[in-house]
Amino acid sequence: MASDRAPEASAPLNGSELDTASADRRKELAARAAAELVCDGMKVGLGTGTTVAHLLSALGERATELSHAGFVATSPATERIARELGLGVCELDELVGNGGELDIAIDGADQIDPDAWLIKGGGGAHTREKIVAAAARRFVVIVSTDKLVASLRPPVPLEVLPFGAHRTLAALGDARLRDGPASPDGNLLAFYDGPIEDPRALAARLSDTPGVVEHGLFAPELVSEVLIGAEDGTQRRPGGKPAE
């Protein structure tokens, strides 16, 4: 089962580490701003992690008002919390299996660079998270300022098929299995530790490696906007996906 544990450390843009309480307050600010984008009747994708936990709390406070909304969870942890809060959790295919789209998906990130490239998967749910982000008309990323980086840094989370996993990691070079539970779909979780000079080239290489189910690099064109919880409120940045 995917956990809600804190993500791998990233290199902060401003060179300062935030203490846990400050980072958590900023995550909550971004999450609450994103919760306001959700209206009754919407089809909504929910990510995974500690920032999303704040989103779930904010949505849970409005569970009665949102009784006709359908929520897709990207991990067992998110699904359990969402159900406990009274949100109507559905399967992705129930909501958009006929080729439709989610109205919105909201998720955290481990790192985000100035071009809106993301590293995700600190909680091991990046495969489902990418499927849900790609199924959404609008994908909103919620982060605290310490997730902003000048350039992406390893490790990049990987989900790897158990069959031939050591061969898959050897083919990648700088890669290792992660400690901890399997992915929500029973695959192995790993890290790619090599350099990320060109995220698009690396994303293509990881995708092209047989046995890699999915990697945690999310391209800017998936991202509609970024809500950044900062000391003095929430800032908005456009992603690389054109607004409708």
Residues with a catalytic annotation lie at 129
Type and span of the H or E element at 50 = helix 50-60
The nearest distance, CB 237 to ligand 5RP, in angstroms, is 17
Distance (Å, rounded) from C-alpha 125 to C-alpha 133? 12
Among 32, 38, 48, 224, binds ligand 5RP (CB under 6 A): 48
Tokens describing residue 3: 């956990």
Distance (Å, rounded) from C-alpha 83 to C-alpha 91? 13
Q: Which is nearer to ligand 5RP, 3 or 39 (CB)?
A: 3
Contacting range for ligand 5RP; rule: CB under 6 A; set: 59-67, 81-89, 117-125, 177-185: 117-125
Among 102, 125, 158, 189, binds ligand 5RP (CB under 6 A): 125
Q: Is 110 in the site for ligand 5RP (CB under 6 A)?
A: yes
Q: Which is nearer to ligand 5RP, 79 or 107 (CB)?
A: 107
Find the binding residues for ligand 5RP in span 15-44 (CB under 6 A). none
Q: Is 111 in the site for ligand 5RP (CB under 6 A)?
A: no
Cis peptide before 155 (omega within 30 of 0): yes
Among 24, 103, 107, 225, binds ligand 5RP (CB under 6 A): 107
Q: Please say whether the dihedral angle defined by the alpha carbons of residues 170, 121, 188 and 102, taken in this order, is positive or negative.
A: negative
The nearest distance, CB 230 to ligand 5RP, in angstroms, is 15
Residue of 86, 79, 48, 83 whose CA lies nearest to 64: 86
Q: Is 122 in the site for ligand 5RP (CB under 6 A)?
A: yes
Per-residue DSSP letters for 52-102?
HHHHHHHHHTTTTTTTT-EEEESSHHHHHHHHHTT--B--HHHHHTTS--B
Interface residues toward ligand 5RP, by CB under 6 A:
6-7, 47-51, 107-110, 120-126, 129
